[in-house]
Amino acid sequence: MRPLIVIGNWKLNGSLASNESWVKAVCKGMEQGMPAGRMFALCAPFPYLSQCEQLIKECSLAFLSLGAQDVSAHNSGAFTGEVSAAMLKELGCKYVIVGHSERRQMHQETDELVSAKALQALDAGLTPIICVGESADERNSGRETEVVCGQIARQVSVLQDRLADCLIAYEPIWAIGTGKVASAQVAQDMHKAIRLQLAEFNEDVASHVGILYGGSVKPDNAVELFAMPDIDGGLIGGASLNPQDFLAICQA
């Protein structure tokens, strides 16, 4: 059985004061009881990782952990501005997002770079959350499965069996921050296509890997999405900024 995993991606948001009240509110809500067997995390901006790690430690809930939003494809050296996987591990991270569509689009990240980042994360003992997803144009021209399965195939070719230690996030670009959530069936169909694609490589990997959905997940659509057989949780952007909305999604 794959656990349900809900991860908040704060993106470029937060402050020392708002982070503190967020973590305290979420811990308080979670202490009142969460459905068993679920895991939760927040992916904070780099400068706040230490602060969030400390706050999470104080509430000591085994099922709440920390993640980062990106990682370098290099482990050390002359790479100004980069942050290595070992540094994230040292700061208490369990997860790191790689290949988010915002980085693919705004920083020209390729599948090759994304798999190099995932390998760095795996080598440091982090779980990479590998994002894939099609644009509106690609879906409107009927190429969504080809595009997403192509992204998956390029990860398989590099990561091979190590994909079993990754999470995949299907985030259709047209659903991110737009309020246009993929219907539960549309999301399920793509998650199933991803799992079938992985099964062609290795059935064990396919049945183990968690596939999260991301894109306008809100408290009122999370129940239906998470009920789908191939949807193993969510990667939550906007709604993760509000602790009460995040809690409601975690409980969905």
d(CA 209, CA 167): 6
Out of 237, 243, 249, 252, the only residue in the binding site for ligand 13P (CB under 6 A) is 237
Rounded Cα distance between 77 and 173, Å, is 33
Shortest distance (Å) from residue 126 CB to ligand 13P: 17
Distance CA 24, CA 184 (A): 31
217 binds ligand 13P (CB under 6 A): yes
Per the annotation, the verdict on 100 as an active-site residue is: yes
Which CB atom, from 14 or from 237, has the smaller least distance to ligand 13P? 237
Q: How far apart are CA 115 and CA 122, in angstroms?
A: 10
235 is a site residue for ligand 13P (CB under 6 A): yes
User: Contacting ligand 13P (CB under 6 A), which of 5, 9, 139, 152?
Assistant: 9
Positions 147 through 206 that interact with ligand 13P (CB under 6 A): 171, 176-177
In the block, residue with structure tokens 């949780």: 233
Minimum CB separation of residue 157 from ligand 13P in Å reads: 24
Binding interface with ligand 13P (CB under 6 A): 9, 100, 171, 176-177, 214-217, 235-239
